[in-house]
């Protein structure tokens, strides 16, 4: 779209498409201040597609002749090509994308162009355009999420046996596998995908035909128009049709949750790349250096994504605030819905692309991860479970393990490094088989159930995920 953003400002102030009511021209500053063509020109394809469907419907019900309809449709298609090639200069005097296209159409084909707006308003027109736009963008975002999930499942499969500490309160809790941790990220994105599907399904109703707010006296066929634009059905109330922006708020809320998940992932990547952890390496192409400290390698991509999360949160708050006190039906306030929405889409797609590129490039420092898991008595819970299985009450087992950990701390050893005799001083039920659960490998392998961290379970989880993603990609290809 960068080649079609030329804006004309030295034009008559009054919009001649609606200026008949007015006795003086709109102030030049007001014309610029109230215009939206600076940003809503990105809706041009959706505006033209909606206009083509509207023209076909007007022909079906006898308002336009076949010749007029053909002229309008051909003209609109030519305008789409002109815009795509950067030949259109947008006019602030014409305010928005709708008036700019309609004026250009009238210039090209004459009076038939003026008939296109019969039975509709810019109010239902823009509501339709935004839904068409967002529906397409959600498809692109769903594809981008799937790409990140593919990368996660492939890396998780490679790291199914890589042991690392699992944390609660950012303190070592129990050993897990790196592959299991990555599949937790996959599950976050799976919920995100589902939320966007729900959002897309709810928004897939067509406002066209609601006109300004009350509908129209012309014998329009709203079901025909909805079907032509691949909506499930027309919206059910004309007042609500032109004033509803729930779908934009719902999308931005879903986008905020996705960004929250990406931010959590980013936080972990940032921690893991630090010298204090050194769990992973990120290639240089995803990092930058310092202008003063030559040794620095900064994880700028995850840091920036973490920062952009606040940006999207802000857009959600902006849209909620925009709508909170609006009476029915349409108000000029709603012009402010587009920039937050557009930026949310752009930001989210950019962040997902970065993750889709970055995840496959992660390299695990496996030995360092495993050594870190040894340092925090990560198998203490396993020892407690072992005692319970030997008939010790859990609360007693908990105290025995606590005493064992205190003893090991004094000796600066891990539980697995204590001798059998040393362990038996805390409980006589402990026998030599205790070392099967005190090792990190034994601990993770013991969690061998659906959703557990055992390597075999991680492999099964990645297989299920990859099968799901393959089916999904076939569906997304059909949508495209």
DSSP secondary-structure letter at 392?
A: -
Q: How far is CA 251 from CA 38, 345, 475, in A?
A: 23, 9, 21
Question: Within 10 Å of residue 18's Cβ, how many Cβ atoms?
Answer: 11
Number of other CB atoms surrounding residue 307 within 10 Å? 11
Between the alpha carbon of residue 363 and those of residues 159, 162, 272, 286, 372, the distances in Å are 10, 12, 11, 13, 17
CB under 8 A, 24+ apart: contacts of 384-391: 385/437, 386/430, 386/434, 386/437, 387/427, 387/429, 387/430, 390/429, 390/430, 391/429
Task: Look at residues 119, 35, 49 and name the one whose alpha carbon lies nearest to residue 83.
Answer: 49
Residues 6+ apart with CB under 8 A from 47: 97, 98, 101, 125, 129
What CA–CA distance (Å, rounded) separates 157 from 58?
Answer: 56
Q: Which pair of tokens denotes residue 358?
A: 């970055």
Instruction: Based on the residue annotation, tell me whether 98 is a catalytic residue of this protein.
Output: no
For residues 94 and 426, what is the distance between their CA atoms, to the nearest angstrom? 85
Active site residue 290: yes
The residue annotated as part of the active site, out of 85, 194, 274, 290, is 290
Q: Give the active site residue among 169, 291, 419, 449.
A: 169
Active site positions, annotated? 169, 290
């Amino acid at each position: 779209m960068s080649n079609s953003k030329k804006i004309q400002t030295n034009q008559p102030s009054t919009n001649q498409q609606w200026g008949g009511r007015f006795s003086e021209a709109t102030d030049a500053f007001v014309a610029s201040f109230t215009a939206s063509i600076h940003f809503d020109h990105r809706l041009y394809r959706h505006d033209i597609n909606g206009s083509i469907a509207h023209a076909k419907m007007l022909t079906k019900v006898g308002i336009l002749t076949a010749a007029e309809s053909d002229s309008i449709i051909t003209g609109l298609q030519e305008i789409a090509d002109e815009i795509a090639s950067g030949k259109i200069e947008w006019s602030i005097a014409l305010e928005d994308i709708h008036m700019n296209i309609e004026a250009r159409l009238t210039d090209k084909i004459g009076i038939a162009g003026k008939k296109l707006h019969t039975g509709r308003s810019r109010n239902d027109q823009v509501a339709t355009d935004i839904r068409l736009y967002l529906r397409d963008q959600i498809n692109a975002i769903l594809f981008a999420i799937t790409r990140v999930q593919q990368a996660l499942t492939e890396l998780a499969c490679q790291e199914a046996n890589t042991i690392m500490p699992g944390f609660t309160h950012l303190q070592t809790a129990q050993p897990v596998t790196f592959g299991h941790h990555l599949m937790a990220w996959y599950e976050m994105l799976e919920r995100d995908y589902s939320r966007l599907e729900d959002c897309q399904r709810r928004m897939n109703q067509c406002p066209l035909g609601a006109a300004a707010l009350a509908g129209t006296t012309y014998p329009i066929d709203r079901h025909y128009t909805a079907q032509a634009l691949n909506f499930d059905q027309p919206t059910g109330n004309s007042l609500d049709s032109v004033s509803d922006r729930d779908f934009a708020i719902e999308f931005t809320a879903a986008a905020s949750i996705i960004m929250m998940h990406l931010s959590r992932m980013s936080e972990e990547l940032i921690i893991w790349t630090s010298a204090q952890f050194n769990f992973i390496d990120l290639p240089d192409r995803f990092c930058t250096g310092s202008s003063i400290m030559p040794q620095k390698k900064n994880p700028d991509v995850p840091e920036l994504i973490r920062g952009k999360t606040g940006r999207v949160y802000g857009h959600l708050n902006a849209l909620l605030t925009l709508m909170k006190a609006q009476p029915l039906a349409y108000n000029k306030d709603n012009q402010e819905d587009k920039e937050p929405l557009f930026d949310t889409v752009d930001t989210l797609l950019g962040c997902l692309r970065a993750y889709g590129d970055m995840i496959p490039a992660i390299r695990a420092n496996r030995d360092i991860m495993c050594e870190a898991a040894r340092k925090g008595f990560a198998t203490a819970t396993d020892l407690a479970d072992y005692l319970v299985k030997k008939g010790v009450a859990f609360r007693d087992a908990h105290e025995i393990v606590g005493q064992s950990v205190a003893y090991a701390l004094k000796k600066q050893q891990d539980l697995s490094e204590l001798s059998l005799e040393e362990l038996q001083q805390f409980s006589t039920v402990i026998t030599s088989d205790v070392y099967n659960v005190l090792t990190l490998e034994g601990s993770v392998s013991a969690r061998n159930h659906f959703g557990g961290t055992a390597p075999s379970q991680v492999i099964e989880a990645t297989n299920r995920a990859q099968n799901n993603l393959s089916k999904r990609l076939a569906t997304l290809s059909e949508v495209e």
